[in-house]
Chain A
Amino acid sequence: MDLFLMTIATGLMVGGIYALVALGWVLIYKCSGVLNLAMGEMTLIGAYTSLSFYSMGVPFLASLLISLIIGFILGILTERIFLDRLIGEPVLSVIMVTVGLSFFFKGIVELIWGTDTRVFDPPVFSMEPIKFGPIVVGQVYVWSFIAAMILLVIFVSFFKYTQWGLSMQATADDEMAALSVGVSARFVYAAAWAIAFMAAGVGGTLLGNINGLNISVGYLGLLVLPAVVLGGLNSVPGAIVGGLIIGVLQNLTGAYLDKYFPGGVKEIAPFVFMAVFLLFKPHGLWGWERIERV
């Protein structure tokens, strides 16, 4: 029973990070209709940037801030250079441009930082585990979860209460109507990419704190897909719930099924789940149902 509770707790906390990255993904999809497969490499760039500054002696929060700023700039640049020209193109072109971008980013990350695993040294969070009754969780998980939750609240209130956020919501809802009342769609697209890049960077940094940082952290970018499919592609609460559920599911399969299917069952379970889920409820939990026959 303790194992069960602990697995759930760890899963929820890792799921918080997934939720953050999934939020960035959903944002891009909602605002500009781009299905982004470069999310994993975006997390890598952010994570490696903050790690570099941290190892240079900059305090953790400051280096996180620097990586946020760099993510913001890179997000706007990416949107302006590559995605801006592809508005209205077929879905395969858009997806493959993001795939191309992901290889481009990945190659550059490997060129600059190499492929060895790096850790945040000295560790940012202390190694002492925290106890909640019978549940024992590493401190880094708790802090990551708290950080992810704070950022989620910031992002969500940004959409709800600021003018920029409202204009983004308007564009996502109906682009033509938003254009006619004076919302600049190009600005919204750029902002969506910038925010997604920033969210991905924070997610990558937090994950890098847990397991150390190497290229396989970019796997997070693929893990986001089951999360957003589960929640529905264009739903922000769906992305958050989906991220949490995928985190829990991953840890549960890792804890209980690993005995029967040794090896990579933890990595594969979200995708199996996704494939089965798609067969029965392709629009996810809260996605818009477009009625069409296939």
Chain B
Amino acid sequence: MSTTFLPCGVYHENYAQDHAWFQTNLIKGKMILLFVLLYVVIPWTADVYWISVMNQVGYTIMGALGVQLLIGYCGQLTLGHAAFIAVGAYTSTLLILEFPWPQFLLDLGLAYPISIVVAAVVAGIWSVLFGLPSARVKGFYLILTTMAAQFITVDFLITQYISQIGGRGQAFSLPTGTIKIGPWTIDSDVKVYYMILTFVVLCIAAVANLIRSRVGRAWIAIRDNDISAEVMGINLVQYKLMAFFVAGFIGGIAGACWISNLAAISPEHFPWFWSLWLVGVILIGGVGSIHGTVFGALFMVVVMELLQMAVMPLSDAYPKLLMDFLFIKESAFGLSICLFLLFEPNGLAYRWWQIKNYFNLWPFSY
């Protein structure tokens, strides 16, 4: 079933039409407007602060997209996704800093793009490695093994061993100018914005296309009922591992992109909290919907910024409040997850669908 409402008199005659991206000219127009808004209006009008907030939103979207794929589409619960983002970020950083690049690649500015691809593949393979237990266990036990992925990768391997490479100790610093794509050096927030935005669009397009292909239908079948999926001839292990690979791949891209926004990377950027945060994002946005991921990321990042703005003026009266803001944020995050699960279990995507239908059917909403 297509989830879009079509105007009177427009009918689909085949399956391909039913799953087309732009089913009417109105939708196409809205999407073009959205493109113009994202690529032209926002970077030209918004100030640096909001651009950096948008960068965070983009990073969160890419991270949460992999979680959405695993939890929302393939039904494989994961609480360790930050590990794969970390693998991507560290692979890319190490390649840029330590790999002996030939001079012509550096001149062409291809080092960073190549490192992003390698980082994505490495993160995908790492993710498959920790997805292997999904062949034998599911539900809560799978959560435990993915948690183990987080602790083994970030808290042990990266903190203890990877961070020692090059004798830097804790953090890898990325001097400005090291990160170049082609002729452009990524050194300002707006450039990071364009880069992250492009990758977000590509990732969303890729996932949306995967979901409406044979692979995506197999994942959804596994999520809905794994036994009947197997009876229908789906190779469970193969498709589950494929889901882990794609999720890790996108996580790797997210991590590799994010290093352009950081002056230095250290294991503290990828705590267990971040894995849980990503799951919280898809729960608030809506499990099993791609635009839910976007809504969730927007909601979590922007609401937290607004909360910070609301707290700031009070800090003159209560200076302690500024220090405690981190804790308030943590509490608010926890409480909002609880409240969403209790009172809005379908997430923001469902609300959006309802609002859209109200206007589509207006004035005769029956």
Chain A residues near B (Cβ < 8 Å): 35, 82, 85-86, 89, 91-93, 95-97, 99-108, 110-111, 222, 225, 229, 233, 261-265, 267-268, 271-272, 274-275, 278-279, 282, 293-294
Contact = CB atoms under 8 A, between A and B. Distances in A.
Contacts of B140: 35, 91, 95, 233
A222 B148 CA distance: 11
B137 A110 contact: no
Given A268-B152, A275-B145, A278-B144, A96 B331 contact: no
B182 interface: no
A278 B333 contact: no
B155 interface: yes
Contacts of A99: 79, 276, 279-280, 334, 337
Contact of B160 (A89, A92, A262): A262
Interface of B: 71, 77, 79, 133-141, 143-145, 147-148, 151-152, 155-156, 159-160, 226-227, 230, 236, 276, 279-280, 283, 287, 324, 326-338, 341-342, 345
Contact of B327 (A82, A86, A111, A272): A111
A278 B137 contact: yes
Given A86-B341, A101-B338, A278-B144, A271 B151 contact: yes
B223 to A, nearest CB: 11
A59 to B, nearest CB: 31
A95 B341 CA distance: 11
A265 B156 contact: yes
Looking at chain B's contact residues, the main secondary structure is helix
B229 to A, nearest CB: 12
Given A275-B144, A278-B137, 9 more contacts: A89-B341, A92-B287, A93-B345, A96-B280, A100-B338, A107-B331, A278-B133, A278-B141, A282-B141
Given A268-B156, A271-B152, A274-B148, A282 B137 contact: yes
Contacts of B230: 293
B75 to A, nearest CB: 9
B328 A111 contact: yes
A107 B330 contact: yes
A82 B342 contact: yes
Looking at chain A's contact residues, the main secondary structure is helix
Contacts of A96: 279-280, 283, 337, 341
B327 A107 contact: yes
Given A111-B324, A229-B144, A294-B135, A97 B342 contact: yes
Contacts of B342: 82, 85-86, 97
A22 to B, nearest CB: 14
A35 B71 CA distance: 17
Contacts of B147: 222, 225, 271
A100 B133 contact: no
Contacts of A100: 280, 333-338, 341
A35 B143 CA distance: 11
Contacts of A95: 77, 140, 143
Given A97-B337, A268-B156, A278-B133, A103 B330 contact: yes
A289 to B, nearest CB: 13
A250 to B, nearest CB: 13
A97 B330 contact: no
A110 B148 contact: no
Contact of A279 (B136, B280, B334): B136
A85 B338 CA distance: 11
Contacts of B227: 293
A95 B227 CA distance: 24
B133 A279 contact: yes
Contacts of B332: 107
Contacts of A222: 147
B341 A93 contact: yes
A271 B148 contact: yes
A107 B280 contact: no
Nearest to B236: A294
Given A99-B276, A107-B330, A264 B160 contact: yes
A271 B345 CA distance: 31
B27 to A, nearest CB: 32
A124 B304 CA distance: 42
A25 B276 CA distance: 20
Contact of A103 (B137, B152, B337): B337
A104 B336 CA distance: 9
B136 A261 contact: no
A272 B152 contact: yes
A262 B280 CA distance: 34
A268 B144 contact: no
Q: Shortest 10 CB-CB distances between A and B: which pairs?
A: A103-B334, A107-B331, A100-B337, A104-B334, A107-B330, A100-B338, A275-B148, A110-B327, A263-B160, A100-B334
Nearest to A267: B155
A111 B328 CA distance: 7
B152 A107 contact: no
Given A97-B341, A99-B276, A278-B137, A294 B156 contact: no
B160 A261 contact: yes
Contacts of A111: 324, 327-328, 331
Contact of A104 (B133, B139, B283, B331): B331
The residue in A35, A111, A267, A293 that gathers the most chain B C-beta atoms within 10 A of its C-beta is: A111
A91 B77 contact: yes
A275 B156 CA distance: 15
A92 B159 contact: no
Contacts of A82: 338, 342
A78 to B, nearest CB: 10
B151 A268 contact: yes
Contacts of A294: 134-138, 226, 236
Nearest to B226: A294
A282 to B, nearest CB: 5
19 contacts: A82-B342, A86-B341, A92-B287, A93-B341, A95-B140, A96-B279, A100-B333, A106-B327, A108-B331, A110-B326, A233-B140, A264-B155, A264-B159, A268-B151, A272-B152, A278-B137, A279-B133, A279-B137, A294-B134
